[in-house]
């Protein structure tokens, strides 16, 4: 009962302060200076004295917050207007393909054309891009060949506009999140200012990329989570459910766009665990109540996202039903689903037989077909015999003949089946050389043996003999086409045919290395399956039964994506972006143009904004440490300080955790990294900066006495605002396009702004 | 003045003494058998040899203290470094004292056992638990095997246990700072032996910070001095000691050797022999007319020098570089009638100079060579040229604003300077290093930082190994490692843990987690009948120790072996008896007896399985093929048979 009273009381005070605030703030650019003084006071002052929770100001106030935050809606409008106008300005410039638009635009087109493709990211982002393009009249015909290609008459603005609109929500969401967390309009405004005028956030929102979509879902998830938190005093109410479900939906969205979404899931997960733990400690709740809470969260935050995520894949597979460039990455069974693929409705002899012509596919992801061609290994690379490689595309050089170990003649009548344990020769159909192994080192994996093509017309030597083993099979088992996992053991040396996954140099046409591995561990790299199987003497059997179950496709496409992701290794002589580069804004990314004649866009954060964030990250731990020690030592602190400490520790901690979760994992990632990977973390960092600087400026009264401290506080806020605005004025060409001379030349628009040597504009 | 009667009262824990003796016996007996190189001795041995010859080396797998300790053992045994460490199983010559090579690791391994006993007491458990913990450690075959050879794990485990023991002793014994100091020193030693020690160190610092935090909350105390002392002992001292290990390392190894090329010229010049022999006595400052060799500052993909030879680019003068088309070609220029003006002026830039007027110094200055006409910088592109370029690395000119400073620098190594105008005389002059010697040794700190940086950044070749395994296989001991096989018989040594005690370990880990979860929820719901401070402490140290020594491996991409799991395992051996005692005290009397019987049965089976695997642990006696087959308890274990 007491709680309810408290709520009503607070909401009325909230409402009155609303009115007051409205009078004081005309909607103008100068607004940010005005709010602080009034804002810090009212809600806290009206807290009931006896409430034990009042020590922890933050947790006592939420019900009030929801209402008080309706306050100066003018501010929110201002944020909305500025955000949209900065993102949508010059949205169609430059009218050519920029950076990764070549991938994601192309993939959007694939959806419109319903062609199957492979990408390392889950499908939702590209589906939305495709949808946006489709709705705005793009017909999917633009090839998106390479960056710099002119769009000409194609309607690309819809896809860009869609991304920009989602990107415009970022400052707005950040504003709302910080306002909910800190109950301070100043903090929220600082955050919004940083994000609105950050050239990096603008640039990354303006193109056909996954990032704006991902960032949108991440921020939406955090906002919903925070809003859900506000409803903690009205569990199971309509709003409570709404925000819970919205959180879940946003999480599904984030994960559906990129796997980076896992980090925000982790953040929400940890927060939820903490929340449940608090509930468990509330002895006024019965275990049944707690179970209800628990089940509601399971439904909202696990089952719903899972359902939505799987649904996006279901749509993905349903829409993309035509054979396309992604086929080779997937297993034979997978390919049999795709219209136009040679395995679609295929029929072939069911068991492998002597005299058959076959293709052999490696089971590692993107392992390719066993392949050979009329080229020799170069001098100095093992024996100078014909190359044997793995090749991802379908080609007549992938065809091999299955021969007996001794005689060549194929007998009349039904051919014999190849069985587990049989010793065979594999003859390359095009060049009539046998698959051959010997004790020379393989070209790249030096611990393995080289595999070559050897002999003429099928006559070779004993090094051409391979023993067929069906994995998990017994002696005498036949080899099922497409379904059996087969290993080929080299008779003479005892090694096993292996695809290392390493790319050969130019002499090997950048195909994949094939070796004979002396390590007999069963890995997909040493397992193969028979994909095509041609034998006129055997009856063809329809293999439509092969079609895999939806869950199998789902699992396989995930493994392909994960392998693909970890396969994106940095190349040795490329300049790689390192995680420590990012917070200091060390180096950006060229979105468009290199030379002084071109229209250049350079993805680089506004240095002032990023360095303010960096300062925030440095200040925050110090301030928290000071506050925590003061609390632990039991110094008598005023009401205001305790509130600040609570905001810093609780809410700031949440944001810091968000930043850490979106940043630290990159240090342990082996894959190639780019500057734009930092943007999710940067959003959290900006929100943290808002809270940190707000508390810092409000603590000026530690230094000076009241009237002066207020002046200092205002001064600090104005200085922050002006420096961000001025730096935006200086650096805006990074986002909105530069032409003419480069920055190191005096005539450039960016002359003198190359503050770090590593910036490339 | 003396007080009479003069009385000494001592208390000797006979159990502790007994346990120590048994530990010494299991670890030290027949230490020089087998008289052959066993497993990774082949790796560490080469460094010990280099130590004996005082030749500089860099081992990117870990800091130098471990090598120093192994070298100390060898030194005491009179090893002269003359042994070729090239093959596992190679016989040691009779002149070499194998015992002394293996003694220090074995001793440390043996001392771990009484240390665990004491540590259990410090965790406030009974002597019986302490006995149990030390018995588990004593009878673990894998720990015995790993201790008995010239390997580093037992040193690491010893220092880590010592650090925790002395910290807890400090915490329990009303703050005697000598214990804290010992703890800090042990931490430094643990980190100095292997980088894995860092994680245990962080755990210890974490526990200490928690205790300090509670101290800060106690308003009755003035805490400033205490906090400062803790910071000094646990943060400052370890860092200083860690640097000290490097100081010892660099002081002892002052001769040039096989790894010179990885280091900067300045570093190399500070070593005796090698580069310093060439550069000894050459003039410091580069002048017009100097004859120099220029070495690129990057050692990737390999160390290299600016080079030209009598062969032309196969194409006529093209402006783009042959392999990196976005950069300019650099060539030696002779007028081939290509109608291009000679563009052969280069400006010397010293980017990291201290004063504007600084001159170009041999070895010490890193210079950029900027092309005057195009302001492109001379750069190693990192790509090798095709056959026509003899597979040498490509050098290009890159626009300054595009380039990154790391690959631009060049350093003068050899430097000759002649003043004579006469061609013949001048050549003679250039070849005779008769100039004034200039002191150009670099400071210890510069050497330390360079060495540390190189150790952390030099890429280890990621190689497959027959006995490598993944961390998840360790927990259930899916794999073993064959350490040694007798040259003619079936006698062999394997790294195989005691299956029973490994099983006990993993069970106690799981049951601790279950118990902790139940306790946490109970406490959260207001049940406070079970005092849980002890069990929390055990959790922090033991489960925490297991986590920090195990989880990092899951994220590592290097080749891993079963022995990497041993430090984590030791924490679990600590945990099992503690958990048992806790359960025992909170059980009803009727159940207690059953528990005791179970514990005894488990202990007996630990001993039996230790006994069973002894032949594979000590390499003697030789077993028949059938007996070996019987020891293959798991299909995935790889036990060797010699075909007769």
Q: What is the DSSP string of B130-193?
A: HHHHHHHHHT-HHHHHHHSSS-SHHHHHHHHHHHHHHHHHHHHTT--HHHHHHHHHHHHHHHHH
Asked whether A424 and A405 are in contact (CB, 8 A), the reply is yes
CA distance A435 to A378: 18
Look at the block and give the residue holding tokens 């989880």: B551
d(CA B474, CA B496): 11
Q: Which range (B137-141, B376-380, B548-552) has the least confidence?
A: B376-380
Distance, CA of B21 to CA of B39 (rounded, Å): 27
pLDDT of residue B427: 61
Tell me the residues of A at the B interface, defined by beta carbons under 8 Å apart.
277, 280-281, 283, 287, 447, 519, 572-573, 575, 629, 632-634, 668, 670, 742-744, 754, 757-758, 760
- Put simply, whether B529 touches A (Cβ < 8 Å) is no
Q: What is the pLDDT of residue B431?
A: 56
Which residue is listed with tokens 């296989």? Answer: B473
Interchain pair B464, A447: CB under 8 A? yes
| CB-CB neighbors (< 8 A) of B402 in chain A | 760
Percent of chain B with pLDDT over 90: 31
Dist. CA B444–CA B371, nearest whole Å? 36
Phi, psi angles (nearest 5°) of residue B133: -60, -45
Least confidently predicted of A640-649, B195-204, B386-395, B510-519: B386-395
pLDDT at position B94: 86
Partners of residue B381 in chain A, C-beta under 8 Å: 573
Is the pLDDT reported for residue A6 higher than 50?
A: no
pLDDT(B437) > 60: no
Q: Taking residues A601-628, report their average pLDDT.
A: 92
CB B392 within 8 A of CB B307: yes
CB A229 within 8 A of CB A184: no
- CA-CA distance, B318 to B515, in Å (whole number)? 75
Looking at the complex, does the CB of residue B383 fall below 8 Å from at least one CB of chain A? yes
* B401 contacts on A by Cβ (under 8 Å): 742-744, 754, 757, 760
A39 has pLDDT over 60: no
Per-residue pLDDT, B111: 94
Alpha-carbon torsion, ordered B518, B521, B524, B529, to 10 deg? -20
Chain B residues inside the 8 Å CB shell of A757: 401, 405
Residue A422's contacts (CB-CB under 8 Å, 6 or more residues apart) are: A467, A468
Q: Report the pLDDT value the prediction gives residue B457, as an integer from 0 to 100.
A: 78
Sign of CA dihedral B386, B388, B391, B392: negative
Interface of B with A in 505-524 (CB under 8 A): 521, 524
Nearest to B37 by CA among B77, B96, B80, B78: B96
Measured CA to CA, the distance from residue A754 to residue A401 in angstroms comes to: 63
Q: Cα angle vertex A373, ends A370, A376, to 5°? A: 115
Q: Residue B74: is it exposed, middle or buried by C-beta count within 10 angstroms (0-12/13-18/19+)?
A: buried
B 31-70 residues with CB < 8 A to A: none
> pLDDT digit string (tens) for A409-437?
555 567 788 889 889 989 998 888 999 99
Nearest residue to A337 (alpha-carbon basis) of A364, A318, A315, A309: A318
- Beta-carbon contacts of residue B322 (< 8 Å; ≥ 6 apart): B313, B315, B329, B385, B389, B394
Q: Are the beta carbons of A519 and B401 separated by less than 8 Å?
A: no
> Does the structure show a pLDDT above 80 at A142?
yes
Per residue in B621-636, pLDDT (tens digit) is 888 888 888 888 887 7
Q: Which residues in chain A touch residue B382, judged by CB atoms under 8 angstroms apart?
A: 572-573
Which pLDDT score is estimated for B404?
56
pLDDT at A30: 37
Q: Render B541-599 in DSSP notation, one character per residue.
A: IIIHHHHHHHHHHHH--S---GGGGHHHHHHHHHHHHHHHHHHHHTS-HHHHHHHHHHH
Task: Write down the pLDDT at residue B169.
Answer: 92
pLDDT value of position A474: 85
Four-residue CA torsion sign, A229, A235, A236, A238: negative
Q: Could you tell me where the DSSP H helices lie in B77-122?
A: 98-122
Average pLDDT over residues B48-55: 90
Q: Which of A378, A444, A573 to mutate to test the interface with B (most CBs of B within 10 A)?
A: A573
Say yes or no to pLDDT of B432 above 60: no
Which of B214, B377, B464 is the best mutation test for A, with the most CBs of A within 10 A? B464
**Which residue on chain B is closest to A758 by alpha carbon?**
B404
ipTM of the complex: 0.71
Name every chain B residue with its beta carbon within 8 A of the beta carbon of A586: none
Instruction: Work out the mean pLDDT of chain A and round it to a whole number.
Output: 82
pLDDT at A57: 37
* Whole-number Å distance between alpha carbons of A565 and B393: 31
Count how many pairs of residues, chain A against chain B, have C-beta atoms within 8 Å.
41
pLDDT classification of A619: cutoffs 50, 70, 90: very high
* pLDDT tens for each residue of B605-622: 999 999 999 999 998 888
Give bridge partners of residue B110 from the DSSP assignment.
Answer: none
Q: A607-632 and B197-217 are packed helices; what angle lies between their axes, rounded to 10 degrees?
A: 50
Question: How far away is chain A from the Cα of B587, in angstroms, using its nearest Cα?
Answer: 27
What interhelical angle do A550-567 and A304-319 show, nearest 10?
90
Residue B502: predicted pLDDT:
92
- Chain-chain contact of A633 with B217 (C-beta, under 8 angstroms): yes
Q: How far is CA A347 from CA A324, A331, A523, A550, B313, in A?
A: 21, 17, 29, 22, 56
Q: Kindly list the residues from chain A whose CB atom is less than 8 angstroms away from the CB atom of residue B400.
A: 744
Greater pLDDT, A380 or B116 = B116
What digits encode the pLDDT tens for the residues B518-559?
A: 888 888 888 887 777 778 888 888 999 999 999 999 888 778
Tell me the chain B residues in contact with residue A519 when contact means C-beta distances shorter than 8 Å.
464, 466
Kindly report whether the global pTM for this prediction surpasses the value 0.80: no
Query: Which chain A residue's Cα is nearest to B404?
Result: A758
Question: Of A208 and B299, which is predicted with more confidence?
Answer: A208
Question: What is the CB neighbour count within 10 angstroms for residue B107?
Answer: 20
Lowest model confidence (mean pLDDT) among A28-32, A304-308, A315-319: A28-32
Residue B419: pLDDT band with limits 50, 70, 90 = low
pLDDT > 90 fraction of chain A, expressed in percent and rounded: 35
Interatomic CA distance for residues B99 and B598, integer angstroms: 40
The span from the CA of B594 to the CA of B328, in Å, is 83
Among A283, A633, A757, the residue with its CB nearest the CB of B219 is A633
**Which comes out higher in pLDDT, residue A73 or A365?**
A73
Over residues B416-424, mean pLDDT: 65
Report the C-alpha gap between A601 and A599 in whole angstroms.
Answer: 7
A280–B463: do the CB atoms touch at under 8 Å? no
Q: A714: part of which helix (H) or strand (E)?
A: helix A706-736
Task: Convert the pLDDT of each residue in A579-591 to its tens digit.
Answer: 888 999 888 888 8
DSSP alpha helix (H) spans, B408-468: 423-431, 444-457
Mean pLDDT score across all residues of chain B: 83
Hey, what are A303's tokens? 């089952």
Contacts of B529 (CB under 8 A, 6+ apart): none
Q: State pLDDT tens for residues A654-663.
A: 999 999 999 9
- Looking at per-residue pLDDT, the higher value among B89 and B438 belongs to B89
Name which of A1, A33, A10 is nearest A711 in CA terms: A33
């Amino acid at each position: 009962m007491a709680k309810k009273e408290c709520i009503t009381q607070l909401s009325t005070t909230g409402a009155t302060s609303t009115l007051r605030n409205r009078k004081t703030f005309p909607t103008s650019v100068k607004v940010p200076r005005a709010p602080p003084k009034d804002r810090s006071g009212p809600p806290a002052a009206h807290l009931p004295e006896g409430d034990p929770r009042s020590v922890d100001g933050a947790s006592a106030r939420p019900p009030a917050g929801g209402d008080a935050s309706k306050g100066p809606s003018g501010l929110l409008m201002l944020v909305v207007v500025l955000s949209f106008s900065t993102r949508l300005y010059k949205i169609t410039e430059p009218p050519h393909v920029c950076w990764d638009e070549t991938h994601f635009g192309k993939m959007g087109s694939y959806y419109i054309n319903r062609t199957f493709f492979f990408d390392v990211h889950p499908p939702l982002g590209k589906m939305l891009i495709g949808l946006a393009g489709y709705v705005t009249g793009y017909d999917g015909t633009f090839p998106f060949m390479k960056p710099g290609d002119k769009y000409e008459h194609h309607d690309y603005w819809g896809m860009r506009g869609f991304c920009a609109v989602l990107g415009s929500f970022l400052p707005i969401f950040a504003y709302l999140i910080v306002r909910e967390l800190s109950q301070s309009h100043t903090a929220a405004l600082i955050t919004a200012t940083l994000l609105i005028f950050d050239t990096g956030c603008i640039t990354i929102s303006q193109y056909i990329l996954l990032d704006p979509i991902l960032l949108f879902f991440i921020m939406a998830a955090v906002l919903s989570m925070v809003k859900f938190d506000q409803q903690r005093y009205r569990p199971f109410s309509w709003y409570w459910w709404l925000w819970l479900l919205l959180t879940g939906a946003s999480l599904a969205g984030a994960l559906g766009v990129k796997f980076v979404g896992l980090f925000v899931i982790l953040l929400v997960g940890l927060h939820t665990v903490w929340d449940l733990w608090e509930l468990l400690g509330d002895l006024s709740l019965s275990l049944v109540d707690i179970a209800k809470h628990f089940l509601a969260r399971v439904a909202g935050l696990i089952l719903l996202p899972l359902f939505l995520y799987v649904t996006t894949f279901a749509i993905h597979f349903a829409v993309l039903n035509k054979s396309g460039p992604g086929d080779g990455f997937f297993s034979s069974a997978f390919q049999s689903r795709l219209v136009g693929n040679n395995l679609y409705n295929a029929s072939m002899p069911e068991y492998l037989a002597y005299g058959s012509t076959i293709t052999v596919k490696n089971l590692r992801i993107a392992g390719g077909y066993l392949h050979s061609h009329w080229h020799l290994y170069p001098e100095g690379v093992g024996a100078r015999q014909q190359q044997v490689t793995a090749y991802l595309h379908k080609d007549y050089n992938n065809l091999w003949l299955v021969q007996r170990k001794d005689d060549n003649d194929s007998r009349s009548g039904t051919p014999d089946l190849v069985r587990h344990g049989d010793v065979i020769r594999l003859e390359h159909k095009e060049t009539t050389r046998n698959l051959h192994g010997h004790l020379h080192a393989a070209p790249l994996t030096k611990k393995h043996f080289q595999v070559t093509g050897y002999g003429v017309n099928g006559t070779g030597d004993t090094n051409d003999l391979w023993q067929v083993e069906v994995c998990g099979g017994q002696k005498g088992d036949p080899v099922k086409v497409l379904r059996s996992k087969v290993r080929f053991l080299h008779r003479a040396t005892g090694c096993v045919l292996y695809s290392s996954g390493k790319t050969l140099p130019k002499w090997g046409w950048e195909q994949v290395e094939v070796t004979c591995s002396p390590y007999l561990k069963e890995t997909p790299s040493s397992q193969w399956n028979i994909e095509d199987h041609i034998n006129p003497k055997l009856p063809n059997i329809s293999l439509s039964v092969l079609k895999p179950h939806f869950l199998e496709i789902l699992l396989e496409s995930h493994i392909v994506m994960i392998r693909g992701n970890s396969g994106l290794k940095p190349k040795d002589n490329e300049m790689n972006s390192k995680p420590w580069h990012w917070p200091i804004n060390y180096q950006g990314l060229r979105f468009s143009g290199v030379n002084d004649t071109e229209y250049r866009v350079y993805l680089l954060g506004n240095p002032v904004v990023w360095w303010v964030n960096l300062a925030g990250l440095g200040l925050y731990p110090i301030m928290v440490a000071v506050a925590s020690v003061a609390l632990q030592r039991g110094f008598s602190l005023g009401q205001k300080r305790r509130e600040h400490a609570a905001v810093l520790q609780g809410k700031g901690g949440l944001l810091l955790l968000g930043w850490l979760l979106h940043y630290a994992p990159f240090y342990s990632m082996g894959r190639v990294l780019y500057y734009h990977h930092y943007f999710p973390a940067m959003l959290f960092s900006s929100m943290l900066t808002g809270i940190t600087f707000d508390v810092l400026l409000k603590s000026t009264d530690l230094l000076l006495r009241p009237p002066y401290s207020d002046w200092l506080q205002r001064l600090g806020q104005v200085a922050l605002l002006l420096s961000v605005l001025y730096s935006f004025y200086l650096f805006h060409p990074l986002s909105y396009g530069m032409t003419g001379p480069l920055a190191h030349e005096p005539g450039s628009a960016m002359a003198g702004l190359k503050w770090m040597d590593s910036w490339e504009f | 003045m003396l007080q009479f009667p003069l009385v000494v009262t001592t208390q000797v824990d006979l159990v502790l003494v007994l346990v120590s003796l048994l530990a010494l016996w299991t670890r030290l007996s027949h230490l020089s058998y087998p008289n052959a190189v066993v497993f990774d001795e082949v790796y560490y041995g080469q460094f010990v040899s280099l130590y004996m010859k005082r030749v500089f080396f860099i081992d990117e797998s870990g800091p130098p203290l471990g090598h120093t300790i192994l070298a100390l053992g060898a030194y005491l045994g009179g090893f002269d470094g003359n042994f070729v460490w090239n093959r596992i199983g190679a016989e040691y010559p009779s002149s070499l004292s194998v015992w002394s090579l293996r003694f220090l690791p074995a001793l440390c391994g043996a001392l771990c056992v009484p240390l665990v006993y004491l540590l259990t007491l410090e965790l406030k458990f009974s002597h019986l638990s302490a006995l149990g913990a030390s018995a588990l450690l004593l009878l673990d075959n894998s720990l015995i095997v790993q201790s008995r050879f010239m390997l580093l794990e037992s040193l690491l485990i010893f220092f880590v246990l010592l650090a925790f023991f002395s910290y807890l002793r400090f915490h329990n014994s009303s703050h005697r700072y000598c214990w804290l100091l010992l703890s800090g020193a042990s931490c430094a030693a643990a980190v100095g032996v292997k980088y894995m020690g860092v994680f245990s160190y962080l755990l210890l610092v974490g526990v200490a910070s928690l205790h300090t935090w509670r101290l800060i909350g106690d308003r009755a105390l003035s805490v400033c001095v205490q906090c400062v002392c803790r910071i000094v002992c646990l943060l400052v001292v370890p860092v200083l000691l860690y640097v000290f290990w490097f100081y010892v390392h660099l002081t002892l190894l002052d001769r040039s050797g096989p790894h010179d090329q990885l280091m900067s010229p300045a570093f190399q010049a500070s070593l005796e022999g090698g580069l310093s022999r060439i550069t000894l006595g050459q003039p410091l400052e580069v002048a017009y007319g100097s004859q120099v060799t220029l070495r690129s500052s990057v050692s990737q993909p390999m160390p290299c020098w600016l080079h030209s030879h009598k062969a032309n680019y196969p194409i006529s003068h093209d402006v783009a570089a042959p392999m990196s088309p976005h950069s300019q070609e650099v060539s030696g220029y002779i007028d081939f009638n290509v109608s291009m003006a000679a563009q052969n002026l280069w400006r010397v830039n010293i980017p990291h100079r201290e004063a504007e007027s600084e001159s170009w110094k041999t070895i010490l200055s890193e210079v950029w060579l900027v092309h005057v006409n195009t302001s492109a910088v001379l750069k190693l592109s990192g790509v090798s040229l095709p056959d026509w370029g003899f597979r040498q690395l490509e050098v290009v000119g890159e626009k300054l604003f595009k380039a990154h400073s790391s690959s631009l620098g060049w350093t003068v190594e050899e430097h000759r300077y002649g003043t004579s105008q006469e061609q013949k005389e001048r050549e003679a002059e250039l070849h005779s290093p008769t100039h004034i010697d200039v002191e150009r040794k670099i400071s210890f700190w510069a050497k330390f930082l360079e060495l540390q940086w190189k150790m952390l950044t030099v890429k280890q070749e990621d190689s497959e190994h027959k006995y490598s395994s993944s961390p998840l296989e360790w927990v259930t001991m899916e794999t073993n490692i064959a350490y040694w096989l007798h040259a003619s018989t079936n006698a062999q040594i394997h790294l195989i843990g005691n299956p029973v005690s490994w099983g006990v370990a993993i069970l106690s880990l799981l049951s601790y987690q279950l118990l902790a979860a139940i306790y946490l929820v109970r406490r959260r719901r207001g049940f406070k009948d079970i005092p849980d401070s002890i069990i929390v402490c055990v959790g922090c140290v033991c489960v925490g120790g297991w986590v920090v020594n195990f989880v990092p491996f899951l994220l590592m991409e290097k080749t891993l072996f079963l022995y990497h799991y041993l430090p984590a395992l030791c924490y679990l051996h600590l945990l099992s008896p503690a958990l048992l005692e806790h359960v025992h005290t909170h059980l009803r009397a009727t159940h207690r007896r059953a528990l005791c019987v179970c514990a005894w049965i488990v202990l007996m089976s630990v001993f039996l399985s230790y006994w069973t695997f002894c032949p594979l642990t000590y390499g003697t006696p030789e077993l028949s093929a059938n007996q070996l087959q019987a020891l293959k308890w798991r299909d995935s274990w790889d036990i060797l048979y010699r075909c007769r």
